[in-house]
Structures are given as C-alpha cells and as structure tokens.
Amino acid sequence: MGMRQDTEQYARHTAGRTSGPRLDGIHVPLITPFDRDGEVAAGALEALAHEVLDAGAAGIVALGTTAETAALEEAERDLVTGVCARVCRERGALLTVGAGAIGTRAAEASLARLARWPQAGAALVTVPAFVQPSVAGVLAHFARLAAVSPVPLVVYHIPYRTGQALDAAALRALGSLPGVAGVKYAGGGIDQEAVALLGDLPEGFAVLAGDDVYVSPLLALGASGGILASAHLATERFAELAGAWRDGEAVRARELGHGLARLSAALFTEPNPSVVKGVLHARGRIPTPSVRLPLLPASGAAVAAALKELEALEELEEPATPRDPAAAL
C-alpha cells in the first residue's frame, strides 16, 4: 500500500473522532499461539481474545512484547491484528495495537499502517530504546507521532529495557501532548517518580500498570488499570482487583493483590511469554507452548509453580456479600 492510500485511510479512520479511548480496567496483551508446524494458530488466538473479554477484561492488546512481535513476519503481524480487530468489533471492546520504532520516521510509518484497522482505538508505543535521546528528544518524538497517528497513543515507559529513564515531570509533559492518552508504567517497582506522577496527572491522562507484580499498589495510588500479560490467567481476579480498588474495598483488594502478585512473579521466573504459554497449554487453551527463538519454552518446574499459584487463586473465596459501589461512598 502506498503513502497516498495510507493517507486516505487515515482521513476516513479519524473522521468524527471527538474523544480518546477509555483507558481503564484490565487489558490483556495477547500472546501469539503457534500450532505444531510453528505457524500462527489464528483460531486459538481468537478463542483467547474472547475468553479474556468474557472474564472481564476491558480490552486486548495486539502486537505487544508478549506477542513475540519481533519474531513475527509482516504477514503474521497483519493476521494477528486482523483477528484481534474482528473480535473487538464483535465485542465492542478496546483494541490497542503495538506500534512504533526507534527512529521517528519508521515509527510514523508503523502508525500509518493502523489506518487499515478502523477497530484500533489506541497504539502502544515504546519510548525509543538503546539510542537514549534527551528528554526533549523524547518529547519531540512523541509530539511528531501524536500529530500523525490515526489513533491516540499510549506511551510504553519501561526504562529497564529501553535504557531511557523518565521522571514524573517528563511523563507529565508527555501526558500533556495532544493525542497522548496514557502511559503503560513499567518502572520496575513503586518509586518516588510513580508516586509523584499519580499525585498530579494531566487531565485525561491515564496511568496503566505495566509491571504485573506491582499492579495492586499502583491501582491503590490511583492508576486506572493495567496492561498485564499475567491476566491471560485468572482474568476474573485481575478484573475484580481493579474493581475493588475503584470501589474502595481495600481489604478485598489487598487479599487479591497478594495472590495475583504471587501468580505474576511465578509467570515471570523465565522470559515472558514462555511461562504464560506453558500454563495456557497445560490448561488446554492453546495447541502448543511453543515460542520462537531466541526465546526457549518454559521449564516444567516453572510451569508447575505457576499452576500452583493459579490454583490457589481459583480456590480463593468470593466476598461474603456482593459488592455495592454505593456502600464505599
């Protein structure tokens, strides 16, 4: 497809847009399941998308890191996005698509491709990795991308992978850019910058937890939701956690948060998404636990440990009485 066609699709895609996506609740960055021949198992992907939405997820993410996007060919990336777009159209759910690149021009081209999928409601774009631009350079990068993107941007802040640390002031400046709707915050813990950011957010700017183990404390501090690979499993519990913090049910939220943190820690004992895939396969939800090189399949011990934590969560008792949001006011 040429640049002119992309431009025409962009105009159609953005016509009538008046507000950004609703970035709250739990969003699941879907794995890419493979069949026994190593090809994308599109049917299993579609089933997973429906399953997590049935279980309470607010949306799904296509082509995140968890999808092994770097190991997919272009036609496979289009297949994955198309499957997810179809499910979100049927379900009325938010579809976020991973896009971007280290270079700004390449990132623009990546975002332009999203005009092919009108169901896409947001793009997850990582802070440029490895090159370590200045904060001013990061702001200029996202200002350019937001100006040309057919959908609002969610900045993916993950400094332990990008090598680019951004403090609360820098993230606040990003959140003030027109077209930037939120940030996936994966700072590696709860630090002073996370507290400062959540204590003074730009209007309309959402913080989504990106470190699965720390989703509960981030929600307690005011995050609106999370983009969590662990939420392929115990999706209902993750959704319940977000609702409990929103409704002021701190006791229930703490109980859920501790159990989900243990599950998340078990799922990340080996490189993601190896253990997640191992557990999904053990539960019969995907045809194989295969990942593509340079990743390797999860060890049996890691899968067994994660299954144990998952079973403990499934046995957790429901609240004694139904939650009444009005009672928390």
The pair of structure tokens assigned to 134 is 């200045």
Radius of gyration of the chain (CA): 19
From the candidates 156, 185, 214, 277, give the one annotated as an active-site residue.
156
The Cα 148–Cα 107 span in angstroms is 10
Q: Check if 184 is active-site.
A: yes
Per DSSP, the three-state class of 15 is coil
- Say if strands 153-157 and 120-126 run parallel, antiparallel, or are unpaired: parallel
- Tell me which residue of 96, 86, 31 sits closest to 58, measured CA to CA: 96
Contact 269, 281 (CB under 8 A): no
* DSSP letter for each residue of 149-189: -SS-EEEEE-HHHHS----HHHHHHHHTSTTEEEEEE--SS
The answer to whether the beta carbons of residues 168 and 196 sit under 8 Å apart is yes
156 assigned to active site: yes
Q: Are residues 61 and 24 in contact, defined by beta-carbon separation less than 8 angstroms?
A: no
Dihedral sign for Cα 285, 310, 55, 208, please: negative
Residue for token pair 């499957």? 83
> Closest Cα to residue 212, out of 250, 267, 163, 145?
267
Q: Which of 10, 160, 184, 308 is catalytic?
A: 184
3 state DSSP class of 57: coil
> Residue 48 burial by CB count (10 A; 0-12/13-18/19+): exposed, middle or buried?
buried
Beta bridge pairs of residue 225: 25, 208
Which residues are tagged catalytic?
Answer: 156, 184
